[in-house]
Amino acid sequence: MDIIRIILSIILPPLGVFLQEGFGKHFWINILLTLLGYIPGIVHALYIILRR
């Protein structure tokens, strides 16, 4: 399942974070980072998915 989340995080970073964490603080942080720049959103999403 992690590989699907990683692929979705590259395409749409908030979706990958949502699948991992739900509507928590990390989801909203990722929305903000994605709006500020696509690459920071991807990096944050990958960090959230791969940290466990």
The predicted pLDDT at position 7 comes to 94
How far is residue 15's CA from residue 4's CA, in Å, rounded to a whole number? 11
SS (H, E, C) the chain: CHHHHHHHHHHCHHHHHHHHHCCCHHHHHHHHHHHHCHHHHHHHHHHHHHCC
How far is residue 10's CA from residue 30's CA, in Å, rounded to a whole number? 12
What is the per-residue pLDDT across 10-47, written as a single tens digit (0 to 9) for each? 999 999 999 999 999 999 999 999 999 999 999 999 99
The predicted pLDDT at position 1 comes to 78
The predicted pLDDT at position 30 comes to 97
Q: At what angle do helices 38-50 and 25-36 cross, to 10 degrees?
A: 150
Segments forming the whole domain that contains residue 46: 2-50
Residue 2 has pLDDT above 90, yes or no: no
What's the number of domains the chain is made of?
Answer: 1
